[in-house]
């Protein structure tokens, strides 16, 4: 079976969560310099204090689920596999996946724990967020729960952070099945797996074809500080084919190990950065699977991220079909710089 004859374009394994977004302007932010002369930023709540919350919103989220939804919106055939709890949050997450036409037949429902939750704290003065994450049923999904036929019938397997031994072993098995069926592997490790299970994160990346990370993640992963080009080179030495690096307001770098494309993001009004990295990864996967150039892929990824950032919440503001994405691209200016890697 050729890749183009397969039932799925992308099957994703990773987190599926209920995101609770709290907008709190009373929260304090501190900036400190550590002993290595590295600036660290913290949010702080005074002990025994009570802060007013401006608003509370809830959205289904989770990196792998977000990627499956984002790509389904662009017309790709996607599926999400992973663990959720037998509770109202899980039902809501499943309903939203189906609303986005994501296949959920590979989802495992557990009674032993609840659906994963994330508490996302946003301070509108700083246009950034901090996250409290409870993995819940995500961490119960194991290699015994993998729908193998799905993995044999996908062009791409996308994995995001699962930090339990169960989850890491499940990702490894999915990679093995996908590669045996000549599919490609896309990795989007978050800082959680990089810090908690660094060797596992490296091992999984060495088995992957494409990856998207931010500057904090790539520095923590490689141990190379302040030299992003060298950090990217390390990933290519591990066998990656495409490496995408997001730099916040400074845009993104995308390379195939030969050419480096630096893309400045379009001018937008920042509302909420939650889900922006997942939207970027979705754009990179879309470009890779559709044989787009590095330049085209970078613009697609940057646009999806920008559309996500312009709206509060996760999976909000993103295009519901590719023509809407194209309209956004046509209406904005993108500055790109190309050099040899």
CATH of the domain at 211: 3.40.1190.20
277-303 pLDDT, tens digit per residue, is 999 999 999 999 999 999 999 999 999
127 vs 32, higher pLDDT: 32
Residue 40 lies in a domain: no
Q: Which domain holds residue 282?
A: 3-27+55-340
The mean per-residue pLDDT over the stretch 173-178 comes to 98
The answer to which of 139-148, 225-234, 315-324 has the lowest mean pLDDT is 315-324
C-alpha 163/C-alpha 135 separation (Å) is: 9
> Residue 93's pLDDT is what?
96
Give percent of the chain above pLDDT 90.
Answer: 72
Structural domains in the chain (count)? 1
Residue 208 lies in a domain: yes
Report the alpha-carbon angle 157-233-263, nearest 5.
75
Prediction pTM value: 0.91
The mean per-residue pLDDT over the stretch 330-338 comes to 94
166 vs 27, higher pLDDT: 166
Q: Which residues contact 106 (CB under 8 A, 6 or more apart)?
A: 11, 79, 80, 81, 146, 147, 150
Residue 44 lies in a domain: no
Residue 329 lies in a domain: yes
> Residue 129's pLDDT is what?
76
55-95 pLDDT, tens digit per residue, is 888 889 999 999 999 999 999 999 999 999 999 999 999 99
The mean per-residue pLDDT over the stretch 261-285 comes to 88
> Residue 290's pLDDT is what?
97
Q: Which DSSP letter does residue 257 get?
A: S
Residue 289 lies in a domain: yes
Residue 43 lies in a domain: no
Read off the tokens for 1. 């079976």
Residue 36 lies in a domain: no
Residue 173 lies in a domain: yes
């Amino acid at each position: 079976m050729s890749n183009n004859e397969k039932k799925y374009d992308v099957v994703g394994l990773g987190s599926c969560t209920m995101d609770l977004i709290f907008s709190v302007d009373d929260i304090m932010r501190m900036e400190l310099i550590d002993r290595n002369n590295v600036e660290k930023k913290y949010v702080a709540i005074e002990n025994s204090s009570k802060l007013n919350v401006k608003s509370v919103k809830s959205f289904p989220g989770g990196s792998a689920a977000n990627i499956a939804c984002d790509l389904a919106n662009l017309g790709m055939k996607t599926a999400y596999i992973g663990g959720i709890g037998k509770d109202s949050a899980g039902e809501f997450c499943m309903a939203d996946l189906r609303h986005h036409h994501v296949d959920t037949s590979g989802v495992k429902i557990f009674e032993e724990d609840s659906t994963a939750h994330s508490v996302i704290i946003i301070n509108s003065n700083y246009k950034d967020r901090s996250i409290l994450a409870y993995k819940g049923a995500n961490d119960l999904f194991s290699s015994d729960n993998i729908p193998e036929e799905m993995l044999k019938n996908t062009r791409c397997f996308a994995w995001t952070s699962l930090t339990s031994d169960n989850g890491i072993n499940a990702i490894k098995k999915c990679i093995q099945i996908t590669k045996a069926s000549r599919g490609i592997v896309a990795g989007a490790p978050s800082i959680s797996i990089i810090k908690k299970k660094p060797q596992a994160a490296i091992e999984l990346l060495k088995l992957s074809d494409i990856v998207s990370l931010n500057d904090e993640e790539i520095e923590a992963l490689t141990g190379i500080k302040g030299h992003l080009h060298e950090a990217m080179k390390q990933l290519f030495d591990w066998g990656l084919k495409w490496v995408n690096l997001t730099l916040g307001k400074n845009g993104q770098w995308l390379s195939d190990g030969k050419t480096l494309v630096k893309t400045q993001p379009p001018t937008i009004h920042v509302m909420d950065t939650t889900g922006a990295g997942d939207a970027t990864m979705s754009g990179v996967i879309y470009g890779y699977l559709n044989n787009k150039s590095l330049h085209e892929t970078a613009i697609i990824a940057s646009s999806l991220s920008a559309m996500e950032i312009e709206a509060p919440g996760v999976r909000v503001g993103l295009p519901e079909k590719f023509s809407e994405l194209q309209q956004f691209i046509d209406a904005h200016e993108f500055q790109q710089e190309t050099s040899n890697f």
